[in-house]
């Protein structure tokens, strides 16, 4: 498979977007060193754009983003892709509505993942963004599609765009890569606040009917327009 002329402009634009979105991971302190990544589906094609493996965030450029097929094989790029590529390719194959995937090791959310404990829905922000608790996925090894299978099995049919993969970290999905980055930022904020709340006492749950109402309003009414970004 190659990047054909009809998709060239789209790939160039996605290289720029995916590169720029990595700045948000460092801006919100969701990653350290070279950990974490953002990827985006190439609409209408069995391709994705993803961060190269082991390259410093300061050295990321649109040109060193890697284009892969949906089996994780490199189609275009001079670097090896992220070690999460096969896992994320599996997500794109199985969940066609997903246009972006993000992986972080953000401190508070990953602490919940280390305990294998979902973040309970005790904040309106949790209801708005996640539609309930932030679920925990199974432990899985890095380097093949095992993590992807755990992500899909956990999130398929769930309203949450985030999953805490046990003993590992956070994976988020979205209709776009930008939406997946937003979910990663919100996941860490909710995980941090709920953690602090538990140090003070027992957080109060939100009734399911109110969770449903909050989620519906935020997803369909809040903001200037129905924009998945």
- Domains along the sequence of the chain with CATH: 5-220 (3.40.225.10)
Give me 213's structure tokens.
Answer: 């109402």
> 3-state SS of the chain?
CCCCHHHHHHHHHHHHHHHHHHHHHHHCCCCCCCCCEEEEEECCCCEEEECECCCCHHHCCHHHCEEEECCCCEEECCCCECCCHHHHHHHHHHCCCCCEEEEECCHHHHHHHHHCCCECCCCHHHHHHHCCCECEECCCCCCCCHHHHHHHHHHCCCCCCEEEECCCEEEEEECCHHHHHHHHHHHHHHHHHHHHHHHHCCCCCCCHHHHHHHHHHHHHCCCCCCCCC
Q: List the chain pLDDT tens, one digit each, 229 residues.
A: 789 999 999 999 999 999 999 999 999 999 999 999 999 999 999 999 999 999 999 999 999 999 999 999 999 999 999 999 999 999 999 999 999 999 999 999 999 999 999 999 999 999 999 999 999 999 999 999 999 999 999 999 899 999 999 999 999 999 999 999 999 999 999 999 999 999 999 999 999 999 999 999 999 998 876 555 5
What per-residue confidence (pLDDT) applies to 224? 74
Q: According to the model, what pLDDT value does residue 51 have? A: 98
pLDDT of res. 2: 84
Contact call for residues 147 and 113 (beta carbons, < 8 A):
no
């Amino acid at each position: 498979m190659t990047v054909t002329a009809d998709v060239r402009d789209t790939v160039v634009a996605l290289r720029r977007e995916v590169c720029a979105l990595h700045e948000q991971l460092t801006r919100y302190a969701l990653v350290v060193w070279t950990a974490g990544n953002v990827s985006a589906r190439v609409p209408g094609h069995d391709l994705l754009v993803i961060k190269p493996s082991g390259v410093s965030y300061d050295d990321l450029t649109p040109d060193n983003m890697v284009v892969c097929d949906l089996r994780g094989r490199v189609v275009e790029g001079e670097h090896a892709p992220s070690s999460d590529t096969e896992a994320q390719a599996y997500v794109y194959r199985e969940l066609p509505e997903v246009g972006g995937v993000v992986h972080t090791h953000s401190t508070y959310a990953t602490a919940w993942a280390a305990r294998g404990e979902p973040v309970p829905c005790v904040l309106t922000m949790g209801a708005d963004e996640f539609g309930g608790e932030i679920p925990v996925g199974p432990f899985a090894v890095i380097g093949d599609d095992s993590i992807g299978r755990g992500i899909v099995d956990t999130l398929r049919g769930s309203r949450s765009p985030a999953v805490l993969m046990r003993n590992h970290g956070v994976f988020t999905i979205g209709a776009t890569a930008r939406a997946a980055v937003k979910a990663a930022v919100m996941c860490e904020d909710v995980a941090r606040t709920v953690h602090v709340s538990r140090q003070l006492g027992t957080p109060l749950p939100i009734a399911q009917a109110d969770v449903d109402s909050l989620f519906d309003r935020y997803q369909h009414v809040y903001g200037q327009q129905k924009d998945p970004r």
